């Protein structure tokens, strides 16, 4: 699952590939927003951790799990 994270005052978004489902990511975001820790943490498929302060969070886009077309044909 591809997750895009927008951080305030940063022109590029963070793109994280994770094994979590959309519901699990949404649950993690909700827990981070409700906690006093003030950070959102996500681990990618390679084991790297991405930690974003909630105060700096601009947006989170949770991608679909659909296959993307590959090559020049543009069809599946």
30: number of CA atoms within 13 Å, CB side?
6
pLDDT tens-digit series, residues 9-62: 989 999 999 999 999 999 988 988 888 778 989 999 999 999 999 988 999 999
DSSP 8-state symbol, 13:
P
The domain spanning residue 34 has which CATH number?
2.30.30
The pTM of the full predicted model, rounded to 2 decimals, is 0.74
Q: Which residues pair with 14 in a beta bridge?
A: 5
What per-residue confidence (pLDDT) applies to 75? 58
Does 47 fall in a domain?
yes
Distance CA 72, CA 54 (A): 40
Q: Which of 2, 8, 1 is nearest to 59 (CA)?
A: 8
| Segment (H or E) for 61 | strand 57-62
Domain count, the chain: 1
Question: What per-residue confidence (pLDDT) applies to 45?
Answer: 93
Domain interval for residue 51: 2-62
The more confidently predicted of residues 72 and 41 is: 41
């Amino acid at each position: 699952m591809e997750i895009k994270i927008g951080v305030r005052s940063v022109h590029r978004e963070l793109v994280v590939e994770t094994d979590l489902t959309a519901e699990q990511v949404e649950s993690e975001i909700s827990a981070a927003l409700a906690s006093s820790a003030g950070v959102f943490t996500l681990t990618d498929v390679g084991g790297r951790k991405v930690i974003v302060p909630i105060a700096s969070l601009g947006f989170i886009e949770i991608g679909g799990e659909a296959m993307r077309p590959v090559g020049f044909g543009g069809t599946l």
